[in-house]
Structure 1
């Protein structure tokens, strides 16, 4: 629901006549209404709706009003709940207010009193949501782990602000590499479930025969190789959130079991006979068009309607190029710091070339490209020739002019070099006296590999094993150095 659309109200009362009367009043005033005669179904509705307020009867059979209020407050702490009660005992009303009720209405309900209090509650709630987003924009804040202030990202943040205030099921659409899991994590860790677990599952990485075991667990001996009991992902996600990435890759059999879990919050381990329950929020993602998958018979239609409750579009990098400079710089700085490469910066020429590329692999491709460039860069700067060859060649194929790498200087013939005794100046610099550790042994006839090994050994010894300094001195990348250290057994 858009925050400026018709407000949605949940009505919860075991009195059918009262429900019909309240619903008729509210619909005539332009409200959308969902009605429930018992508490359990009203709480379950929070997983597939975004209400603006709840009108809740305090005394109901089964799950009573106070317990429903507690569960609503746990799922959506800011959602206003108006208690309706015929109880004139002040203790009952005070107890409900202490549990977080917004206001109370005495039965029999007065129409004008209901409309006035409900209007105030909805306006206050929507103002809270708007202020939350405006504060984020004014402070220039994004969500943890997410970089970007472009128009498409600001629109995404507005939707995420709404989702962090609810328990609704979310389906994120986006191409591979756009950051769907980052968005799901941000929603979870800014929601009321943030103290609970965040369980991420890549459905595409699980063999079809193991999908049900991975999601729901299995009992010991339930199939060949099941030597111990296994706790499934849904059980692990109790009181937290479960993120099903690439949900379209689930088999039809796993989809059927997932549907039951979403409907009833109940499931069986594979090979088990004891029903288990889990209190979780579902966050899902796919790069496929699920409606097309339904039409093709590869995805259940009933599950589609359960999953696609609030659909969130994650923009591809080519639609948010205003964020590219900040993203690229951040990736370079993070990698340089973690790998102890020293200060690194992208040249303006390099940045201009990055902005000409279409990034089919999106943010993930950019991150990998920056890591590769950081490894091979020299002199503290990343130049166009440091970029992955596939990017350089793709752009050249589009007619983009990319500078060639500088030619390596020709070595000076030995006969032309000025001679110097130990410690004497050569070209204005003093030649260092060789130490015992730096002395080159008399190899006689040696191979190139033997020379390379000795050069690395001496550099590692002289620089106390500082990999970053060794890379700079020898003019090789960090990955290459690690490979040669292993090859020559120098570490």
Structure 2
């Protein structure tokens, strides 16, 4: 479901003066407005013709605006809610945000501030609905959580589909951040064991002296700290899948016990004489070269061949070509919705930078970069200026134009610069030419607003700050000059 061309706005305001002011702010806009004065009228309007945006006064004559907000959110209605409150009830606005409001306005506010808030909520609502439609339409085309149509990923999809129904062990290799655990989960979900448990264990994150207990379990008193009987991961995954991540980090002594378990299908808890058969499928993964680990004597050769029945190699992101942009679009939409921003895509030069970057951290690095961009910036699209320095083709952060070179490049220079000298007339003139930082900031903001024809949100996007930051600073300047 997408937003109509003209969004419906329901204004709930009982004070005639404030209602006239808001209706005046809304006049001439590309939307349909309905005004009611009481909570009862609002509930009737919500049932009769559900709006897209609710402008909600907290203080109503017959009920609290919070009651209406809670009902809207309890009904899971896709409605954007802007709470309008006075200075004395800011805490109520905060409570409303916690209860699910999208934004709030504190009286008095300017028409410009009101319209920016309203359009931001409409943009966020539009984007959320587009993302929902995209998810519904993608279905299985995204293949078990993966995104990417490159030939390299098509091979992975085919391998997972072909081996999901088997009980044979699978050995997944690939660099960190390529999606090895996602592949293991896809094997589990697309096979006959999908109703069973998927239990993941990171062999590199658990101390060696506890690893055996984590896999096979222990009985009370088996070692210091074993205060109760505990099932291990193998028994917990009975009927399902046991995923052993970073398998090459496993202690050699435990490798022997794992091999015995693979051969017998029987687990024995630490400190217990009893044995128990379990039915699990083993999937393991590593970011190392397992054969190199075998040759180096760090990984048992017989265990390697026992595990390496069906190999799955996860390609690095730099090997996946245009998948970078498919992934970037997918995660930008998701993170934008989560962070309630309005990004819809990438500028051509930003997209080119994403394609040119080698992505040593693979998909995980891409997701982190996108979250950084969305959280720290605003705008309709991601621009080259928003990308972190490595992606934008820059090296170490440089100093400002005309800044001095690094100090103390030689002992002689260091001692010369360290020696005190008397201030000169030129120094005094230079000091007089230095402006306070707030004046530099104000001039930059005013130039940006002028260049954007008075459009504060666009100026904010150029300056890489939020519009509310500019509004707040302008208010401070106006108060200081009055």
Q: TM-score, normalised by structure 1?
A: 0.53
Match of 1:196 in 2: 196
Deviation at 1:281, TM superposition (A): 0.4
Q: Aligned partners of 1:315, 1:475: CA distance in 2, in Å?
A: 45
Is structure 2 residue 231 aligned with structure 1 residue 231? yes
Match of 2:170 in 1: 170
Deviation at 1:389, TM superposition (A): 3.1
Match of 2:312 in 1: 312
Q: CA 1:474–1:410 in 2, change beyond 3 Å: closer, same or farther?
A: closer
Deviation at 1:225, TM superposition (A): 1.1
Task: Verify the 8 A CA contact 1:142 1:157 in the aligned structure 2.
Answer: no
Q: Aligned partners of 1:157, 1:475: CA distance in 2, in Å?
A: 48
Deviation at 1:152, TM superposition (A): 0.8
Match of 1:326 in 2: 326
Deviation at 1:342, TM superposition (A): 3.5
Is structure 2 residue 476 aligned with structure 1 residue 474? no
Deviation at 1:396, TM superposition (A): 3.3
List gaps (5 residues or longer) in structure 2.
1-137, 397-438, 445-452, 456-464, 472-482
Q: Aligned partners of 1:272, 1:358: CA distance in 2, in Å?
A: 51
Q: SS at 1:161's partner residue?
A: helix
Match of 1:411 in 2: 442
Match of 1:262 in 2: 262
Task: Verify the 8 A CA contact 1:377 1:383 in the aligned structure 2.
Answer: no
Task: Verify the 8 A CA contact 2:171 2:283 in the aligned structure 1.
Answer: yes
Q: Aligned partners of 1:412, 1:302: CA distance in 2, in Å?
A: 71
Q: SS at 1:389's partner residue?
A: coil
Q: Cα deviations across residues 26-49 of structure 1 (Å, max 9, x unaligned)?
A: xxxxxxxxxxxxxxxxxxxxxxxx
Q: CA 1:171–1:475 in 2, change beyond 3 Å: closer, same or farther?
A: farther
Aligned Cα root-mean-square deviation (Å):
2.7
Deviation at 1:149, TM superposition (A): 0.7
Task: Verify the 8 A CA contact 2:169 2:310 in the aligned structure 1.
Answer: yes
Task: Verify the 8 A CA contact 1:290 1:299 in the aligned structure 2.
Answer: yes
Q: Cα deviations across residues 184-233 of structure 1 (Å, max 9, x unaligned)?
A: 10111000111111111111111111110111111111111111222111
Q: Cα deviations across residues 285-330 of structure 1 (Å, max 9, x unaligned)?
A: 1111111111111111111111111111111111102111110011
Q: Aligned partners of 1:345, 1:270: CA distance in 2, in Å?
A: 54
Task: Verify the 8 A CA contact 2:242 2:280 in the aligned structure 1.
Answer: yes
Match of 1:349 in 2: 349
Match of 1:396 in 2: 394
Structure-to-structure mapping, 1:37-436, within 5 angstroms: 141-392=141-392, 395-396=393-394, 410-412=441-443
Q: CA 1:389–1:227 in 2, change beyond 3 Å: closer, same or farther?
A: farther
Q: Aligned partners of 1:303, 1:230: CA distance in 2, in Å?
A: 26
Q: Aligned partners of 1:320, 1:327: CA distance in 2, in Å?
A: 10
Q: Aligned partners of 1:295, 1:353: CA distance in 2, in Å?
A: 39
Task: Verify the 8 A CA contact 2:331 2:367 in the aligned structure 1.
Answer: yes
Deviation at 1:410, TM superposition (A): 4.9
Q: Aligned partners of 1:139, 1:337: CA distance in 2, in Å?
A: 19
Q: SS at 1:391's partner residue?
A: coil
Q: Cα deviations across residues 345-380 of structure 1 (Å, max 9, x unaligned)?
A: 322211111101001111111111111111112223
Q: CA 1:428–1:382 in 2, change beyond 3 Å: closer, same or farther?
A: closer
Q: CA 1:475–1:371 in 2, change beyond 3 Å: closer, same or farther?
A: farther
Q: SS at 1:303's partner residue?
A: helix
Q: Cα deviations across residues 36-65 of structure 1 (Å, max 9, x unaligned)?
A: xxxxxxxxxxxxxxxxxxxxxxxxxxxxxx
Task: Verify the 8 A CA contact 2:219 2:271 in the aligned structure 1.
Answer: yes
List gaps (5 residues or longer) in structure 1.
1-137, 399-407, 414-426, 430-469, 477-491
Q: Aligned partners of 2:222, 2:322: CA distance in 1, in Å?
A: 53
Q: CA 1:236–1:295 in 2, change beyond 3 Å: closer, same or farther?
A: same
Q: CA 1:428–1:177 in 2, change beyond 3 Å: closer, same or farther?
A: closer
Q: Aligned partners of 1:169, 1:150: CA distance in 2, in Å?
A: 26
Deviation at 1:412, TM superposition (A): 4.8
Q: Aligned partners of 1:254, 1:428: CA distance in 2, in Å?
A: 68
Q: How many residues align?
A: 275
Q: CA 1:297–1:377 in 2, change beyond 3 Å: closer, same or farther?
A: same
Q: CA 1:285–1:238 in 2, change beyond 3 Å: closer, same or farther?
A: same
Q: Aligned partners of 1:325, 1:145: CA distance in 2, in Å?
A: 16
Q: CA 1:367–1:412 in 2, change beyond 3 Å: closer, same or farther?
A: closer
Superposition misfits of 4+ residues, deviation over 6 angstroms: none
Match of 1:49 in 2: none
Q: Aligned partners of 1:412, 1:300: CA distance in 2, in Å?
A: 68
Q: Aligned partners of 1:335, 1:409: CA distance in 2, in Å?
A: 33
Task: Verify the 8 A CA contact 2:169 2:309 in the aligned structure 1.
Answer: yes
Q: TM-score, normalised by structure 2?
A: 0.54
Match of 2:66 in 1: none
Task: Verify the 8 A CA contact 2:341 2:378 in the aligned structure 1.
Answer: no
Q: Aligned partners of 1:243, 1:211: CA distance in 2, in Å?
A: 14
Q: Aligned partners of 1:140, 1:193: CA distance in 2, in Å?
A: 19
